[in-house]
Amino acid sequence: MKIAIPLLAIAAAVLTAALRPAIAADDPYLQKRAGMVRDQIEREGVSDPRVLAAMRDVPRHLFVSPSFRAKAYEPYPLPIGEGQTISQPYIVGFMTQILRIKATDRVLEVGTGSGYQAAVASKLAAEVYSVEILESLAARSRRTLSDLGFRNVVSRQGDGYYGWEEKAPFDAIIVTCAGGHIPPSLLRQLGNGGRMIMPVGGPFMIQNLVFIEKDARGSITQRNVLPVAFVRLLGH
């Protein structure tokens, strides 16, 4: 028994030393993530602890190209190819919070892009279904999400204007590209009691994030919540 304690201590020290290089290698990103959440998201009014935890956890830098990783935690959108962008961190946090996603929810995302918003939503929901119209982005985001172990995200290439009828109804719908109007197909696929957020406005017009709710009887209400600038909704 007298020998066991030193041996355990030595084993623990060896394990700690072995892990230290891996932890140290990721420290710059961990610190940047924590700073992003603290300074850009929480300070600006996003307060849901589950949303904040998800955004501290999801490695945003792995959803952008290597040439932009140094800027992944800065307070602005970044290009991801095909004329598309990964949204500003605050906008991701705001849109996620307003949906009040529960652990049992089924979520539809229109516009997978890099896959970052789907990854954040997947930390809160039971299932996330995401549609991306651009084949190259659909393939890349699917690979990224799979490599990072996001098993409750299902994505496909297609025209998100029409949603994903086979998987409806959805408890929450998040649209990450701006359209001139709210697609009727998405309103139909939103379940009773569901919530939806979408930027609405043309490419040369003022855009607003519009929050839509469908009550238990299927009645729909909507309101503008934030002026924004998003890439346009393609297809349809």
Q: Which amino acid would we find at residue 146?
A: S
Which residues of the chain fall below pLDDT 50?
A: 1-26
Specify the pLDDT at position 25.
47
Q: Which residue has the tokens 């891996």?
A: 22
Are 153 and 145 spatial neighbours (Cβ–Cβ below 8 Å)? yes
Query: Burial level of 167, CB count in 10 A (0-12/13-18/19+)?
Result: middle
According to the model, what pLDDT value does residue 205 have? 74
pLDDT of residue 132: 97
Check residue 233 and give its pLDDT.
Answer: 86
Q: State the catalytic residue, choosing from 47, 65, 67, 87.
A: 87
Whole-angstrom Cα distance, residue 85 to residue 78? 5
DSSP structure class, residue 163: -
pLDDT in tens, 39-57: 999 999 999 999 999 999 9
Q: Are 181 and 79 in contact (CB under 8 A)?
A: no
Q: List Cβ neighbours of 120 (8 Å cut-off, separation of 6 or more).
A: 51, 54, 55, 58, 92, 96
- Beta-strand runs (E) in 17-141: 78-81, 84-86, 106-110, 127-132
Span 181-230, pLDDT tens digits: 999 999 999 999 999 999 999 766 789 999 999 999 999 999 999 988 88
Provide the pLDDT for residue 187.
Answer: 98
Please give the pLDDT value at position 141: 98
Helix (H, G, I), strand (E, B) or coil at 180: coil
Residue by residue, DSSP assigns 76-101 as S-EEEETTEEEPPHHHHHHHHHHTT-
87 is catalytic: yes
What is the predicted pLDDT for the residue at 27?
64
